Each structure stands twice: as structure tokens, then as C-alpha cells.
Amino acid sequence: MRTTASTMRCGLAALMCVALCGLAPSPARGGALDAITKKDATRGLRAALDQGIDAAVGRLGAPDGFLANPKVTIPLPPALDKVDRTLRRFGMGGQADDLKAAMNHAAESAVAEARPVLKQALQRMTVADAKAILTGGDDSATRYFQTATSDTLRARFKPIVAGATAKLKVAALYDQYAGTAAQFGLIKGADAHLDDYVTQKTLDGLFLVMTEEEKAIRKDPLDQASSLIKKVFGALQ
């Protein structure tokens, strides 16, 4: 009996022919795939990815979008994380908690900048890119965006993070906390630039959530709002 994964691969191959080659699907597939035109397939793929972008940015840009999600919460920088338990023994846990919250709120402020960058990359998608997404696995679209946008997003995120950390006095909190740790001989000082650290963690969280959204659309296209997404991705089931 053909497995679900095998069926999905066959469906992707058939859809790829429709979307990228303009060929009719094989008679064995028939049914829903027969009704999908090249134009519909292309629009359906773009609609699905556009929806995934909006959902990911919306989730992370909401109040406590990072802080309330354990999968993407930005922890203290490594040097400070190592000594966090020790400092808490001396009644300094409040400083660590304030710093962690401020870093995550800075990421929250920055992530909205991702939406136009990701959508520009979506519009630049080539036939070869679309083929790779259709045949590359459950996170292939996210990997495409990661390759196409990471440098631009990093450049856009960093000044926003820097502004947010300054406004929230994160730098002062960081210096104070690191300085206290140094007094106890636990570290020699900050071992990373705070804004770079928060910027990279913001990127990591964004692409993690995009992967989750992509997998959800692939797994259950009939649960999506767009009738075109249902038509195109539903035919792959």
C-alpha cells in the first residue's frame, strides 16, 4: 500500500509538472490535479507562502510574541546564562529577568520589518525556486526565504534592536548584570555584543515559526482560508 509520504511525493511531482512545465498530470493522478492550471498552481503556491509570512510575523510581533513562546524566547547571552543560577542565590534574579524581558521585547519590535522583505523575496521567486520548494521537503520554502533574505533582515533588524534596547535600557541592564558577575569572578565581562546577539536570535525565531506555519499548510491545506490554497495543496493529499 502506498504510504502517505509516498503519495505526497507523487502529488508534488504531478503538481510540479502542472506548475512549472505546463504539462498535464498523469492519468493515474486525474481528479483534482486535472483541474489545476499552471496559473492556479503558481498562484496557489504564492498564496500559501504569503499567508505563512503574515502568520509568522503576526505571531512574533504580537505583545510577548517572543517572551511567551518557549520555542523562540531569547535567553540571556551565554556568558550570563552560565552564571544566572549563581547570581540568583545572591538575590539578583530580578535583574536577569528584566534583561531577558527587555531583549525579547526588542526582538518583538524588530520582527515587523521582516514582512516587506519576505514578500519582496516571494515576488522574486523564479521557476527554479518554485520547483525546489515543491520538491524539497516540509521546510523548503522557509529555507528559500532564509537564503534569500537573512542578510537584508539582519541589516534591518539590528538598528531597530539597538534603538529598542537603548529605549528599554537593555544596554545598561546588561552592563550592570555583567559587571556584578565579574565582581564575583564568574566572568571577565560581556563576551558578545548584545545587539548582534538579539538580532541573530530574532532571525532564528522568525525562521522557526515560518517553518511551523509552512508545515501546517502542507499538512492540512483544507484548514486554510484561501480556496486556491485548498485547491492546489489539497490535490496533493
Q: What is the CA radius of gyration of the chain?
A: 22
Q: What percent of the chain has pLDDT over 70?
A: 62
Long-range Cβ contact pairs of 139-143 (< 8 A, separation 24 or more): 139/211, 139/214, 139/215, 141/49, 141/52, 141/210, 141/214, 142/207, 142/210, 142/211, 142/214
Instruction: Give me the number of domains the chain comprises.
Output: 1
Q: Stretch 158-164: mean pLDDT, rounded?
A: 91
Residue 112 lies in a domain: yes
pLDDT value of residue 200? 92
Residue 236 lies in a domain: no
pLDDT value of residue 166? 83
pLDDT value of residue 143? 94
- pLDDT tens readout for residues 14-45: 344 334 333 334 444 444 444 555 555 666 67
- CB neighbours of 124 closer than 8 A, spacing ≥ 6? 148
pLDDT value of residue 92? 67
What nine digits make up the cell of 17? 509538472
In contact, 47 and 229? CB cutoff 8 Å:
yes
pLDDT value of residue 151? 96
Residue 39 lies in a domain: no
In contact, 221 and 230? CB cutoff 8 Å:
yes
pLDDT value of residue 209? 96
> Which of 52-56, 95-99, 176-180, 232-236 shows the lowest mean pLDDT across its residues?
232-236
More confident residue, 53 or 172: 53
Q: What percent of the chain has pLDDT over 90?
A: 33
In contact, 96 and 177? CB cutoff 8 Å:
yes
pLDDT value of residue 33? 45
- pLDDT tens readout for residues 48-102: 788 889 999 999 999 999 999 999 999 987 767 666 677 677 676 677 788 889 8
Closest alpha carbon to 217 in 139, 163, 144, 101: 139
Residue 235 lies in a domain: no
Range of the domain at 133: 57-221
pLDDT value of residue 128? 76
pLDDT value of residue 205? 97
Measure the CA–CA gap between 186 and 31, rounded to whole angstroms: 67
- Per-residue pLDDT at 7 exceeds 90: no
- Per-residue pLDDT at 171 exceeds 50: yes
Residue 109 lies in a domain: yes
More confident residue, 189 or 168: 168
Residue 184 lies in a domain: yes
Measure the CA–CA gap between 111 and 99, rounded to whole angstroms: 19
Residue 50 lies in a domain: no
Residue 194 lies in a domain: yes
What is the rounded end-to-end Cα distance, in angstroms, of the chain? 15
pLDDT value of residue 224? 53
Mean pLDDT taken over the chain: 74
Closest alpha carbon to 77 in 107, 106, 100: 100
More confident residue, 53 or 218: 53
